[in-house]
């Protein structure tokens, strides 16, 4: 399957009006809503209409790619979808976190399945796509904990070499590990990285973190940036300022505001960042994204501290263009993104 097949995926709520209609007052007052994606009711009920279909791991894979779902923690229902291309040699490993404002999304969503299957094939890597717990049922740091737990699970599997995991473990070079994500998933990738780097490297073996890839990372702050206030967004944009505020209200710990360090890495100044032994970081920014200026601020701050930061701007496209494709331009930019990820992991 090529990326062109994804052109019908859209966040236009009009496409799914039937799915989001409910009998009047079925669950009472709606406290928070992101149209077409999420409703949080006062009685505690949470609705996530299936505006994007979930698909099985075997659906429409590129030639030579195998994918299966694996259970990481049955008690918290933490699982991952693993993609393995049939390329020769031991392949780098990408641990990937999907987007969705911490509140929606799945490793089984068709848009992520298509994107990651193609990324595994074209960039020659094993991808572990993590289905972490969602807010508001599980507020942060639940998603970060799931990310860290996934990495420790990979380490445990490598050390014990259970036969049921050999289909992907035997293809991996765990000394070439990358933590990757887009949007809220990129926020998770960043925060899991900062959680991982203080660890004694010997305690992580055979894992060796080579880099972190942040695709349109979902950061925020109490003070609005220019692009948050003024960037012109199409009505079907994957991320608007009002939706961003809802996601943060539902994801952050109760009582926290958007200057919490999980949301705003620069809230407490750069002093704490100076001592972090961060790996090489690649940050992918969309020109029409409301997060553009926030992403650039974080990149500039890290660069000023001597961190290795590679920044790429994708012209003419908005937030989540690589999974919410509806134009030839976004398809072309996605091919560029895959090429840049491949080049970064091969450095």
Contacts of 90 (CB under 8 A, 6+ apart): 171, 172, 173
Residue 243: both structure tokens together: 């939706």
Pick the closest to residue 294 from 311, 276, 307 (CA basis). 311
- Helices and strands per DSSP (H, E), number in the chain: 11, 11
Find the DSSP H helices in 161-251: 166-169, 184-196, 201-204, 226-230, 241-251
Choice among 129, 183, 227, 286 that is catalytic: 183
Choice among 182, 227, 319, 330 that is catalytic: 319
DSSP reduced 3-state for 17? helix
DSSP reduced 3-state for 124? coil
DSSP state of 54: B
Residue 41 annotated to the active site: no
| First-to-last C-alpha distance (Å) of the chain | 28
Task: Residue count of the chain, please give it.
Answer: 347
Choice among 113, 289, 293, 330 that is catalytic: 289
Structure-token match 């398809």, residue found: 331
State the Cα–Cα distance between residues 69 and 150, nearest whole angstrom.
13
Residue 289 annotated to the active site: yes
What are the residue numbers of the active site? Answer: 183, 289, 319
């Amino acid at each position: 399957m090529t990326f062109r097949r994804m052109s019908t995926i859209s966040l236009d709520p009009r496409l799914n009006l039937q799915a989001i209609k409910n009998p009047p007052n079925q669950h009472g007052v709606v406290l928070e809503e992101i149209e077409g994606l999420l409703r949080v009711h006062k009685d505690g009920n949470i609705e996530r209409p299936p505006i994007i279909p979930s698909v099985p791991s075997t659906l429409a894979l590129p030639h030579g790619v195998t994918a299966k779902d694996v259970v990481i923690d049955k008690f918290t229902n933490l699982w991952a979808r693993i993609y393995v291309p049939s390329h020769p040699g031991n392949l780098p490993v990408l641990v990937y976190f999907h987007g969705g404002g911490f509140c929606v999304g799945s490793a089984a969503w068709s848009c992520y399945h298509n994107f990651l299957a193609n990324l595994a094939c074209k960039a020659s890597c094993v991808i572990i796509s993590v289905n972490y717990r969602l807010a508001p049922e599980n507020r942060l740091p639940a998603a970060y904990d799931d990310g860290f737990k996934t990495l420790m699970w990979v380490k445990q599997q490598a050390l014990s070499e259970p036969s049921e995991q050999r289909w992907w473990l035997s293809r991996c070079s765990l000394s070439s590990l990358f933590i990757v994500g887009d949007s809220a998933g990129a926020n998770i990738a960043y925060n899991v990285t900062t959680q991982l780097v203080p660890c004694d490297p010997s305690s992580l073996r055979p894992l060796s973190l080579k880099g972190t890839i942040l695709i349109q990372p979902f950061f925020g702050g109490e003070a609005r940036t220019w692009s948050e206030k003024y960037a012109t967004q199409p009505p079907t944009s994957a991320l608007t300022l009002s939706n961003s505020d809802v996601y943060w209200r539902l994801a952050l710990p109760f009582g926290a505001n958007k200057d919490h360090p999980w949301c705003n890495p620069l809230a407490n100044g750069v002093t704490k960042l100076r001592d972090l032994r961060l790996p090489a970081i690649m940050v992918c920014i969309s020109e029409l994204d409301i997060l553009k200026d926030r992403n650039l601020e974080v990149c500039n701050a890290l660069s000023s501290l001597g961190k290795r930061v590679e920044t790429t701007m994708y012209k003419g496209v908005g937030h989540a263009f690589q999974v919410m494709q509806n134009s030839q331009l976004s398809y072309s930019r996605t091919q560029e993104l895959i090429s840049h990820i491949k080049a970064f992991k091969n450095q």
